[in-house]
Amino acid sequence: MAAIWSICLGNLRRRKVQNSLIALLLLLSTLLINTAITVISNSENLYEDLHRETKGSHELLNLTTGLHDPQMVEKWWSAQKGVTASVLLPYKPLAGVIHEGEDIPNLYLYMMNTPDRPFGTDELVFAQGQETGHPEPGTIWIPTSLAYKYDVSVGDELQFKAGKQPLRLKVSAVVIDLALGGPFSTTARIWMNNTDYQHDLNSVQDTDSYLMGIRFDDYSQRAGYWERFESFLGTPFMEERTTFEEISAFYFIMNKIIGFVMSFLGVVMMLVALYTIGFTISDAILSNYKTIGIYKSLGLSSREIISTYIAQYSFLSLISLIPGLILSRFLSGVIIEQSLSFLKTDHSSTHIQGAGTEFIVGIGILLLILLVVWFYANKARSIQPMQAIRYGMSEAAYSRTTKRWHEERKRGKEFERWPVPWVIGIRNVTKNLKGSILMLVLTTVTSAVLVFGLVLLNSIYQMQETSPLWGYDSSDVVIMITNTSEFDREQVENDMGSDARVRNLNWIGYTIGVAPADQTRRSDPADSRAQSVNIPLTVVEGSMDEIGLASITGRNPHNRNEISIGINVSRELGKEVGDIVELYIEGEKHSFTVTGIYQSISNMSYQARVTSEVVHKLNRDAGYLNLNNIADSDEIVQELNDKYGTSIQAVKQQTLLDSVFKEAAAVLIIPMSILGLMFLLITCLIIYSTSRIHIRKEIKTYGIYKSIGLTSGTIRGALTWGIVLLSAFGAILGIFCGAYLLPGILRDLLSSYGIIKLPLLMHWTGISLLALLSVSVAGSGCWMASRIIRSNSPRILVTE
């Protein structure tokens, strides 16, 4: 046993750089893998815990059109056993809010008449401010999605466009509104005092709209409840209905993307670490072949020699895995706090769960490492003491080496016409084949990480160029109607029609279409009964083509009997272009021919588009302007807001996109930057270590080169250019993987969110620069490793 520990400690001392590098690789791969698992599992756990604590809704009903009596709906659901129904939450819709003199764009408001608490479902959690039964007169509660995103604090004043004079209210509390306050939300519930609501919002809308939450004791039984409810109504439910999947989806999307990237790259880094371990053990056995033969001749068994490697890498694994698991908790906390910041309060911190998972991950990685070590160390069993002492290798290997030496002498004549530095660089790459493969893989992976991060972030920042493929329009200016009672549509149309800068103006409104149960093919996993599907409809007055709405298959509707449907509606109804879809709209049944299928990140593609002739009364929510010169957009926006500011909010389309997707870019930029720096560091260190090992093996050869006139700089440059050429091939492969392979895998992840064709923008200048960066890092690692050639004289090198 003493001999085993002595050999093990000797290996640790002699190969400090290699051992340190392997320990770092294991630490980082453990960090990435465990962080990915922790982020994904904790995101769902945090949401589900809060959803359970606040009695979160499984479905949210929005009663706005008067097609069903709200009191009757509330009474029926309240009477059902196994169902918790909220009280009716009256509200009036509004758009347009000002904070510190600046308009907050792209935000639709539900001005709530706050009832007595508890509501029954979706209880509010106070994140800032004092918890009270109702907002005091002149004050409001706002959701964290509004407060944190636009830096609104308790005590700040918000101005709402609710008439000729803005309605001024102070924020008395910030609350977590789980149902409507998720990431990327463009809707916010503003909780008002009853007196303020009754007095200040009379001009907004004559009648109240209502929200109502439903929570099932057994979620799998919801299909049966809905079947009975619609039987009670005598028709499908015609109002807006939001399911639990839609409510919760965007709480998880960013962490799923981050988790996917980290887990994928963590596995790649672990494979690199295992390959490096195998490469190092193989190299150590070959380098110490004669020594191992002597050990065996002195009485050490093969099992004891293998045990020295197992002991060595068990030690390295333990000193790497434990810090990796600890650091992953901190990194996970940072990512979760940033991506789920809307669930954070001033008096509570994010509690990371999963100690059991960390233990399983650590044990699993340790066992995998030891299995690889055992597999490669087993090569020591075949060492015969006499052959090892005589040849320094097996007799068969000695014969192959002698034969190869003669062949290389013959083949060397082929290189006589090549410049000497070229021959040195190529020979360094081809002779050290395993190390060269490792370098190629590393530069490929590093380039792929850098390119993928750039492509993803650039596509989000420049989303205006591909907005139709994300389900948005491509207009230049959007006119959001903030107060319908004061909005003068004819005046706006006349002004825009006579303005030479404006090319066209189209209007959009929204309503609900319902596909009856016999049209759907969706079934509950525990219940074969199909349900009716409530589909948000984008209703266009004008031309969808002019607005810039796009389809991935087919075209936009042009006539009243045509419809374009989102990809998830297509899946759920089993409809393709040319099929017939029957929908109830405003209580009437309509038949449509599907002319197009489109994708949209909004509503997860659970939506459709029809022309305005379908509806009897279109409530126009927004107008979409295209200009002859986009440079005029700032001027047009300013003029519209100055003239119609009490009833509209005019913004550039880029402003609307930024208000949603800059949030995504901010969440992604930290983990993607960390990953890029990690892989650059690992690439440099591994190439340094691998090159150093090979240079030490060939040190006598380089001494001979120096003795016949080659300078240290020439030799180092030749070695470096050989590695640069190799890494250039890796960078080219990395560009392909980062620009096409990784986005393809990510597209599969986003498919459930309604995106099946990922709209990416290739910034080829940036991609080329990042690929060159990975090549430069590889070259730097080799250049640093070759310093030993410069620091020793030819005589010493030859003597060695």
Portion of the chain with pLDDT greater than 90, in percent: 22
Q: What is the mean pLDDT of residues 636-644?
A: 88
Q: What is the mean pLDDT of residues 179-189?
A: 85
Of the listed ranges 68-72, 240-244, 707-711, the least confidently predicted one is: 707-711
Same domain, 478 and 560: yes
CA 515 to chain centre: 32
Same domain, 508 and 375: no
pLDDT at position 352, please? Answer: 67
Mean pLDDT over all residues of the chain?
A: 82
Give dist(CA 66, CA 87) in Å, integer.
Answer: 17
pLDDT at position 524, please? Answer: 47
Give dist(CA 540, CA 607) in Å, integer.
Answer: 13
Same domain, 51 and 178: no
Same domain, 507 and 633: yes
Residue 552 belongs to a domain: yes
Q: Which one, of 94, 76, 216, lies nearest residue 167 by Cα?
A: 94
**383, 414, 449 - which closes a domain:** 383
Give dist(CA 725, CA 730) in Å, integer.
Answer: 9
pLDDT at position 685, please? Answer: 82
List all residues 6 or more positions away from 342 whose beta carbon is below 8 Å from its beta carbon: 143, 144, 145, 148, 176, 181, 182, 183
Highest-confidence segment of 10-24, 427-441, 498-512: 498-512
Same domain, 499 and 628: yes
Give dist(CA 256, CA 449) in Å, integer.
Answer: 17
Query: What are phi and psi for residue 639, nearest 5 degrees?
Result: -65, -45
Centre a 10 Å sphere on the Cβ of residue 691 and count the other Cβ atoms it contains: 25
Q: Which one, of 688, 631, 680, lies nearest residue 654 by Cα?
A: 631
Q: DSSP of 742-773, one letter per residue? A: HHHHHHHHHGGGT-SS------HHHHHHHHHH
State pLDDT tens for residues 191-205.
999 998 988 887 677
pLDDT band at 113, cuts 50/70/90? Answer: very high
Residue 292 belongs to a domain: yes
Question: Which whole-number Å values give the CA distances from 463 to 1, 261, 654, 659, 761, in the listed order?
Answer: 64, 21, 8, 12, 9
pLDDT at position 668, please? Answer: 76
583 or 294: whose pLDDT is higher? 583
Query: What are phi and psi for residue 633, nearest 5 degrees?
Result: -65, -40
Residue 171 belongs to a domain: yes
pLDDT band at 350, cuts 50/70/90? Answer: low
Same domain, 41 and 96: no
pLDDT at position 220, please? Answer: 86
The single residue listed with the structure tokens 């892989």 is 679
E-strand stretches of 248-377: none
| Per-residue pLDDT at 416 exceeds 60 | no
Residue 763 belongs to a domain: no
pLDDT at position 383, please? Answer: 64
795 or 135: whose pLDDT is higher? 135
- 774 neighbors 735 (Cβ within 8 angstroms): no
**602, 628, 660 - which closes a domain:** 660
Residue 255 belongs to a domain: yes
pLDDT band at 453, cuts 50/70/90? Answer: confident
State pLDDT tens for residues 244-290.
888 888 787 777 787 777 788 788 878 888 887 887 777 777 766 66
Same domain, 163 and 288: no
Same domain, 199 and 263: no
Same domain, 211 and 257: no
Q: What is the mean pLDDT of residues 296-319?
A: 78
Centre a 10 Å sphere on the Cβ of residue 142 and count the other Cβ atoms it contains: 29
Portion of the chain with pLDDT greater than 70, in percent: 87
| Per-residue pLDDT at 716 exceeds 50 | yes
Residue 234 belongs to a domain: no
Q: What is the mean pLDDT of residues 321-326?
A: 87
pLDDT at position 679, please? Answer: 81
292 or 627: whose pLDDT is higher? 627
pLDDT at position 62, please? Answer: 92
Query: What are phi and psi for residue 751, nearest 5 degrees?
Result: -60, -40
With b for 16 or more beta-carbon neighbours within 10 A and e for fewer, the 475-502 pattern comes to bbbbbbbbbbebbeeeebeebbeebebb
| Per-residue pLDDT at 547 exceeds 70 | yes
Centre a 10 Å sphere on the Cβ of residue 309 and count the other Cβ atoms it contains: 24
Same domain, 258 and 197: no
- 174 neighbors 139 (Cβ within 8 angstroms): no
- 345 neighbors 126 (Cβ within 8 angstroms): yes
Same domain, 499 and 605: yes
Cis peptide before 794 (omega within 30 of 0): no
List all residues 6 or more positions away from 32 whose beta carbon is below 8 Å from its beta carbon: 262, 263, 265, 266, 269, 675, 678
- 211 neighbors 61 (Cβ within 8 angstroms): yes
Q: Which one, of 170, 370, 177, lies nearest residue 277 by Cα?
A: 370
Q: Which domain holds residue 318?
A: 1-59+244-383
Of the listed ranges 202-216, 424-438, 551-565, the least confidently predicted one is: 424-438
pLDDT at position 692, please? Answer: 81
DSSP category for residue 134: S
The radius of gyration of the chain from alpha carbons, rounded to an integer in Å, stands at 34
Amino acid at 343: L
Q: Which one, of 76, 179, 70, 220, lies nearest residue 531 by Cα?
A: 220
| Number of domains the chain is built from | 3
Structure tokens at 517: 């149960």
Q: What is the mean pLDDT of residues 378-400?
A: 56
pLDDT band at 7, cuts 50/70/90? Answer: low
| Per-residue pLDDT at 395 exceeds 50 | no
pLDDT at position 527, please? Answer: 47
Highest-confidence segment of 27-36, 249-258, 670-679: 27-36
pLDDT at position 28, please? Answer: 83
Same domain, 285 and 375: yes
696 or 453: whose pLDDT is higher? 453
Of the listed ranges 32-36, 510-514, 609-613, 626-630, the least confidently predicted one is: 32-36
pLDDT at position 525, please? Answer: 46
DSSP category for residue 118: P
Give dist(CA 393, CA 387) in Å, integer.
Answer: 7
Residue 773 belongs to a domain: no
pLDDT at position 526, please? Answer: 46
CA 213 to chain centre: 30
- 150 neighbors 183 (Cβ within 8 angstroms): no
CA dihedral 788, 794, 795, 800 (to 10 degrees): 40
Q: DSSP of 461-518, one letter per residue? A: HTGGGTGGGGT----SEEEEES-TTT--HHHHHHHHHT-TTEEEEEEEEEEEEEE-GG
Give dist(CA 609, CA 556) in Å, integer.
Answer: 8
**342, 362, 383 - which closes a domain:** 383
Query: What are phi and psi for residue 405, nearest 5 degrees?
Result: -65, -40
What is the pTM for the complete model shown?
A: 0.80
Residue 121 belongs to a domain: yes
